[in-house]
Amino acid sequence: MAASVAYDEVEVGTELPAQSFPVTRATLVRYAGASGDFNPIHWNEKFAREVGLPDVIAHGMFTMASAARVVTDWAGDPAAVVEYGVRFTKPVVVPNDDEGALIEVTAKVAAKLDDNRVRVDLTAMSAGQKVLGMARAVVRLA
């Protein structure tokens, strides 16, 4: 499946549709089961606090993958993403309540590259704090 966005129709500054991703303790349990990452900082409040965290935190790879969904949904094909990287700047703290946390992601085309590729810069926020830094994807468009 090829990317559904045409390179010629994209300009630098094009904003991708923003998305929000709710994260509850149940989300973390499901992710732990799928990923095999059962580190207690992701489910045990007492342990998380003992190691200096404010509470249980979301898995970094979960946060990273959530942000990538903005790009893959826009491109129309996950295989169109040829590079992706982030720096983890702040944890996503997930309180033990009915609401949990929210990861809010925005993105825009920052550069047009050769070979029908564009660089997309992402911003991921939770509780008013930037949780990913240097979040960038290179996407090959149609």
Domain assignment present for 126: yes
Domain assignment present for 121: yes
Domain assignment present for 131: yes
- Give me the helices (H) in 5-84, please: 25-35, 45-50, 60-75
Domain assignment present for 29: no
Domain assignment present for 31: no
Domain total for the chain?
1
Q: What is the pLDDT of residue 27?
A: 97
Percent of the chain with pLDDT over 90: 96
pTM, full prediction: 0.94
Average per-residue pLDDT in the chain?
A: 97
Domain assignment present for 13: yes
Task: Answer yes or no: are the C-beta atoms of 85 and 79 closer than 8 Å.
Answer: no
pLDDT surpasses 80 at 17: yes
Question: Using CA atoms, how far apart are residues 5 and 137, in angstroms rounded to an integer?
Answer: 15
Domain assignment present for 128: yes
Domain assignment present for 30: no
Q: What is the pLDDT of residue 133?
A: 97
CATH number at residue 67: 3.10.129.10
For residues 2-31, give the mean pLDDT. 95
The domain in which residue 124 lies consists of 7-23+59-140
For residues 85-112, give the mean pLDDT. 97
Q: What is the pLDDT of residue 1?
A: 63
pLDDT digits (tens, 9 = 90+) for 64-84: 999 999 999 999 999 999 999
